Amino acid sequence: MAYPRDLLAPDEDVVVDAHPHWKALIGAVATTLLAIALALLAWWWMDSVQWSDGVETGVGIAVAVGVVVLVAWLAIAPYIRWATTHFVVTDRRVIYRTGVFTKSGIDIPLARINSVQFRHGLIDRLFKTGTLIIESASDDPLEFDDIPNVESVHAQLYHEVNDALDGDDEK
């Protein structure tokens, strides 16, 4: 889902619109597969034990509820967090928004950015992702993790910052 264009200023152009890299969901997918495997194991075990029908039904319901809660907490919640996190670079600012019920965000005007850096280790390089570090005029550096194609975003952001600074000099 793209960042809503009605939240942008008039004549503001989007340069980068990204969610965190899908690598951030690997743990959620692994958790889901593990929960399904545990549910199948529990079902197999319950089938091999002789219980009364009431006890077997109760244990089956308890296992099903446990699996649903585990998957919702460890898999669905991270997916929703991922889907509602936006990293946007426009020709005027950097926008970062996250959250469903409690939203938080930050806007950094391009003219206030002092430096742009990126960092990615071996695994991040394999997935073509990394951490983008933006240092603004008055704040500590802000780190944005799991930015897809971080080197390209770094170059585009650097280009936009230079364009914004050149536009200030011409006025």
Q: How many domains does the chain have?
A: 2
The reply to whether 98 and 71 lie within a common domain is no
Task: Judge whether 8 lies within some domain.
Answer: no
pLDDT tens digits, 96-148: 999 988 999 999 999 889 999 999 999 999 999 999 999 987 768 999 999 99
- Whether residue 117 sits in one domain with residue 66: no
Please identify, among 41, 64, 81, the residue that sits at the C-terminal boundary of a domain: 81
- Given this model, what pLDDT does residue 152 score? 94
What is the per-residue pLDDT for 169? 55
Residue 72 lies in a domain: yes
Task: Give domain status of residue 7, yes or no.
Answer: no
Does one domain contain both 49 and 107?
no
Residues 166 and 114 both lie in one domain: yes
Model confidence pTM above 0.95: no
Task: State which H helix or E strand residue 96 sits in.
Answer: strand 93-98
For residues 32 and 63, membership in a common domain is answered with: yes
Residue 1 forms part of a structural domain: no
Count of beta carbons in the 10 Å neighbourhood of residue 21: 20
| Nearest alpha-carbon partner for 130 in 27, 18, 4, 1 | 18
Residues forming beta bridges with residue 108, ordered by sequence position: 94
Domain containing residue 30? 26-81
In a domain, 110, yes or no: yes
Tell me, yes or no, whether 166 and 91 share the same domain. Answer: yes
Determine what percent of the chain is predicted with pLDDT higher than 70: 95
Indicate whether 107 and 77 sit together in one domain.
no
Q: Is residue 4 part of a domain?
A: no
